[in-house]
Chains A and B, each alone.
Chain A
């Protein structure tokens, strides 16, 4: 079956702009989570969506937001981009239960200049 698909793979944006990243989970998966990976902070949890509702949220400013559609596809948005937002953004999908394996996409590499 198809894996987790993240688009675009690479993105360059200017400070102050906003950006929207997309994640298509594995068919049948209802939970989508987003993570930010940077060399300094490592992998940090952004938020998790399950059945179109945000189930968990990490410690990120309100400039980071997300949503999930009825087909489980998810988008995350970052407004007023800062240089420090340059990172690899990873999306993971699971069936949604406690003991279900998470499958990760290859990520979107965002560079803010």
Chain B
């Protein structure tokens, strides 16, 4: 069965620290898509990144980077030099090809609440 596990419920760091949010997934599909979303207090989910199962290249976008490892079924997210504005709940999600592979049918982890203190 498909599942996404975010073992860290809450993380608190001081501004400028680096922080890594863990995500482990389970799927029987060979084709699938992984996502990270950010949910600020306003409630809407903000898309951060999408990765398909055939693309294990790590990605860096500014202070954000993602490490996708199929061997360990992990898709971890690192924020470098964290800022107070990074405080939010972060969700990892999975979409399977058999479910259409679209972002319309996402299986979410329980989320990690990140608090960045000044």
Q: Taking beta carbons and an 8 Å cutoff, which residues of A are in contact with B?
A: 3-4, 31-33, 35, 42-45, 48, 50, 55-56, 58, 88, 90, 92, 94, 96-107, 109
A contacts with B: majority SS: strand
Is B117 part of the contact surface with A, judged by Cβ < 8 Å? no
Total count of chain B residues near the partner, CB < 8 A: 26
Chain B residue at smallest Cβ distance from A101? B47
Chain B residue at smallest Cβ distance from A104? B45
Q: Jot down 25 A-B pairs with beta carbons below 8 A, ordered by A.
A: A3-B44, A33-B104, A33-B106, A35-B108, A42-B111, A43-B91, A43-B111, A45-B105, A45-B107, A48-B100, A55-B105, A56-B99, A90-B44, A90-B45, A92-B103, A92-B104, A98-B97, A98-B100, A98-B101, A100-B102, A101-B47, A102-B45, A103-B47, A104-B45, A107-B44
Instruction: Specify which chain B residues have a CB less than 8 angstroms from the CB of A48 in the assembled complex.
Output: 100, 102, 104-105
Instruction: Specify which chain B residues have a CB less than 8 angstroms from the CB of A44 in the assembled complex.
Output: 108
**Is the beta-carbon distance between B45 and A92 smaller than 8 angstroms?**
yes
